[in-house]
Amino acid sequence: MAITARTTAPLMRGSESAPVGRDQMSETLSSQPPVRPPAMRTEAGAKPRTAAEINKLPKKVTATDVNFFYGEHQALHGINLGVPEHHVTALIGPSGCGKSTFLRCLNRMNDMIEGTRVEGTILLDDQDIYRPRTDVVELRKRVGMVFQKSNPFPKTIYENVAYGPRVAGVRKREVLNEIVEKCLIQSALFDEVKDRLDTSALQLSGGQQQRLCIARALATGPDVLLMDEPASALDPKSTARVEDLIFELKHTYTIVIVTHNMQQAARVSDQTAFFYEGHLVEAGPTNELFTKPKEKQTEEYITGRFG
Amino acid sequence: MSTLAADKPGRPWAPLMSRLFAVACGACMLFCLALLGALLYKIFGFGWDRLNTAFITGKPSFMPAKSGILVPLVGSLYLIGLTAAIAVPVGVGAAVYLEEYAPLSRWRTIIQTNIANLAGVPSIVYGILGLGLFVRTIGLGRSVVAGALTMSLVVLPIVILSAQEALRAVPGTIRQASYALGATRWQTIWYQLLPASLPGILTGVILSLSRALGEAAPLVAIGVATVVRQVPENLFTDEFTALPLQIFYWTDMPDEAFHEAAAAAIIVLLTVLIGMNALAVFLRYKFGKRIQW
């Protein structure tokens, strides 16, 4: 129980309110090394606590009745979800539940897959990103993405970060230098790499590579940052650094994160949405969803009874 | 501990078989090495004395002692250079289209299968096509350009296939990362995919050009001359000849002294080939060492 106590308080309450699931819950928790430094836990207290509070926040992204099809197969069924600005929204659910698919709808990365189709509307501010003649390139500059497996380009650290501005037409060296430095500082990588910006990004460690990918995503000056299980391939220490980073970044950006790790969702997010078999089962303030889930499926999932 | 003993009950022959197999594979390797060694020994023994500066810079002659290979050597280098200039952009372009643009369809499958089949078509067939198309219909005659266009047909399928292979080896995550940063398809191909697949593309190009360097059949088919007195000055009109044709011509002569000249020319051809392969290894190392997925 000593280990559980070090994670966020709401989670503990969640396990208490689910009498049958307690054993599984503490098992899940103890399998995850406690990594959050104390300072972060106090900040977590500032999270919105009620659905009413969440609903009052201005929405950066609003999905309405979103259906998604891979050919004949429908992967998403009528998703309605608002993403509050400057907050972290976590998407959780078992594998294949559609949470990554939904994430990839938000910057139209699914367009790259042949035979896919989207119905419904997704508003970024007040513009429907799926209306005809949307500039997808412009959209992806405003909605950055970080992938599950760090995927730096086989180029120098500098070139990795400068790539986004470069393809957007920035040519001036001073401007690029400034962007690269700013983004590396923001992603808490600058001190580690400032003396070797011209070495290959592939020589960095896994955790550093992932932070480089975050810096690269920040370099296009996005409003929204999509993260598809950004820490799932990292060791606990690197995971903690990425989570700290998410805490820092949410002051500037709106973040949507897909995660398999429920402690992570509880630690970093303000709002959590639970997906199951292509349906959005429940969404609400993270504290509420983990302590007082409204749906039985949600409760079973977060207490570790399936998934 | 008995399971770790060498003489396992039930399969007493296993260690012996393992040894035998290793010996058999080694014998196969030795056989190849011996063949190559015998070939090189014969050629070098025969042609080494004939090889000198005068031979490299000499013009053809009816006297074997005075014959040189300047004209076919320069012809071969022109031919390969021009073939590369034609086949590389076209082949890489076709590969990029097939890998990055063409939608998955039955047509693409048909085209893909056909390219793979074309890579196996005997080169003389391309020679006959070149004769009909470039030499006669377009009227390029037996010029370097006609030869290079014909040779391009021979190497194109291999260039396309190896470039496709190299593009396919670039992880999909690189494409996704590039698109996610707001890059267009063209930018993704130009700044990410082509640089990342360059070592593979170059290796395929150089190996196929090495093959083209040694090809005689397509040149025979388009009727390239075997005895040309002058290095071609106009690539569109002047006649030319190439090293494999010169070698073929000399080995066909009754005079033994011409056979020595042929052996010397083979040494020159092999030197150029080894040089090209060394270049392939070098480029692969130079561009490839930074890229490890």
The rounded mean pLDDT for chain A is: 83
pLDDT for position B291: 58
Banded model confidence at residue A273, pLDDT cuts 50, 70, 90: very high
Restricting to B residues 100-129, those with a Cβ less than 8 Å away from any Cβ of A are: 103-104
| pLDDT beyond 60 at B188 | yes
In a domain, B63, yes or no: no
Number of domains in chain B: 1
pLDDT for position A25: 40
Banded model confidence at residue A10, pLDDT cuts 50, 70, 90: very low
Q: Which residues of A touch B196 (CB under 8 A)?
A: 153-154
Supply φ then ψ for residue A188, to 5 degrees.
Answer: 60, 35
In a domain, B36, yes or no: no
Minimal CA separation from B176 to chain A, in Å: 8
User: What's the rounded mean pLDDT across residues B257-263?
Assistant: 90
pLDDT for position B5: 58
Chain A residue with the nearest C-alpha to that of B195: A154
Chain B interface includes A164 (CB < 8 A): yes
In a domain, B31, yes or no: no
**Record: contact B176-A112, CB cut-off 8 A:** yes
Q: With both helix axes pointing from N to C terminus, report the angle between B123-130 and B144-168 in degrees, rounded to the nearest 10.
A: 130
Q: What is the pLDDT of residues B113-134, one digit of tens each?
A: 999 999 989 999 999 999 999 9
**Record: contact B180-A109, CB cut-off 8 A:** yes
Q: What is the pLDDT of residues A82-134, one digit of tens each?
A: 999 999 999 999 988 999 999 999 999 998 888 899 999 999 998 999 988 88
End-to-end CA distance of chain B: 42
Do the Cβ atoms of B129 and B175 come closer than 8 Å? no
User: What's the rounded mean pLDDT across residues A137-165?
Assistant: 92
Chain A interface includes B62 (CB < 8 A): no
Q: Which residues of B touch A114 (CB under 8 A)?
A: 103-104
Interface-testing mutation among B181, B184, B293, with chain A (most A C-beta atoms within 10 A): B181
Residue B196 is part of which domain span?
Answer: 70-288
Chain B interface includes A113 (CB < 8 A): no
Q: What is the pLDDT of residues B143-168, one digit of tens each?
A: 999 999 999 999 999 999 999 999 99
Q: Which residues of A touch B177 (CB under 8 A)?
A: 147, 151-153, 213, 216
Q: Where are the domains of chain A?
A: 2-152+222-302
Nearest partner of B175 among B119, B101, B232, B280, judged by Cα: B101
Pick from B179, B187, B290: CB nearest A112: B179
Chain B residue with the nearest C-alpha to that of A111: B179
pLDDT for position A232: 86
Minimal CA separation from A285 to chain B, in Å: 29
Restricting to A residues 116-145, those with a Cβ less than 8 Å away from any Cβ of B are: 137-138, 140-141, 144-145
pLDDT for position A14: 36
pLDDT for position B9: 64
Q: Which residues of A touch B184 (CB under 8 A)?
A: 137, 167
Residues A2-152+222-302: name the CATH superfamily.
Answer: P-loop containing nucleotide triphosphate hydrolases (3.40.50.300)
Supply A106's token pair.
């938000």
DSSP classification of residue B59: P
SS3 assignment, position B120: coil
Low-confidence winner among A48-57, A79-88, A108-117, B54-63 (lowest mean pLDDT): A48-57
Q: How many CB pairs under 8 A join A and B?
A: 74
Q: What is the CATH number of the domain that holds B174?
A: 1.10.3720.10
Supply A110's token pair.
């699914």
What residues form DSSP beta bridges with A285? A271
Is this prediction's pTM over 0.80?
A: no
pLDDT for position B8: 57
Greater confidence, A189 or A44? Answer: A189
Do the Cβ atoms of B71 and B230 come closer than 8 Å? yes
Pick from A141, A147, A202: CB nearest B176: A147
Chain A interface includes B90 (CB < 8 A): no
Chain A interface includes B43 (CB < 8 A): no
In a domain, B49, yes or no: no
pLDDT for position B175: 92
Chain B interface includes A196 (CB < 8 A): no
pLDDT for position B61: 83
pLDDT for position A224: 95
Banded model confidence at residue B290, pLDDT cuts 50, 70, 90: low
Chain A interface includes B184 (CB < 8 A): yes
pLDDT for position A19: 39
**CA A165 to the chain's CA centroid:** 22
Predicted complex ipTM: 0.78
Chain B residue with the nearest C-alpha to that of A148: B173
The rounded mean pLDDT for chain B is: 89
**Record: contact A151-B180, CB cut-off 8 A:** no
pLDDT for position A41: 40
Q: What is the pLDDT of residues A214-244, one digit of tens each?
A: 999 999 999 999 999 998 888 888 899 889 9
Integer Cα distance of B61 and B58 in angstroms: 9
**Record: contact B291-A138, CB cut-off 8 A:** no
Integer Cα distance of A186 and B182 in angstroms: 20
Banded model confidence at residue A21, pLDDT cuts 50, 70, 90: very low
In a domain, B50, yes or no: no
Minimal CA separation from A154 to chain B, in Å: 6
pLDDT for position A37: 43
Greater confidence, B250 or A2? Answer: B250
Q: Which residues of B touch A153 (CB under 8 A)?
A: 174, 177-178, 192, 196
**Record: contact A167-B183, CB cut-off 8 A:** yes
| Angle, alpha carbons A141-A142-A146 (nearest 5°) | 75
Chain A interface includes B171 (CB < 8 A): yes
User: What's the rounded mean pLDDT across residues B42-48?
Assistant: 90
* C-alpha dist (Å) from residue A269 to A86, A100, A157, A256, B249: 11, 16, 29, 9, 80
Supply φ then ψ for residue A73, to 5 degrees.
Answer: -80, 125
Chain A interface includes B187 (CB < 8 A): yes
| pLDDT beyond 70 at A20 | no
Nearest partner of B224 among B208, B251, B244, B209, judged by Cα: B244
Chain A interface includes B192 (CB < 8 A): yes
User: What's the rounded mean pLDDT across residues B38-51?
Assistant: 91
| pLDDT beyond 70 at A269 | yes
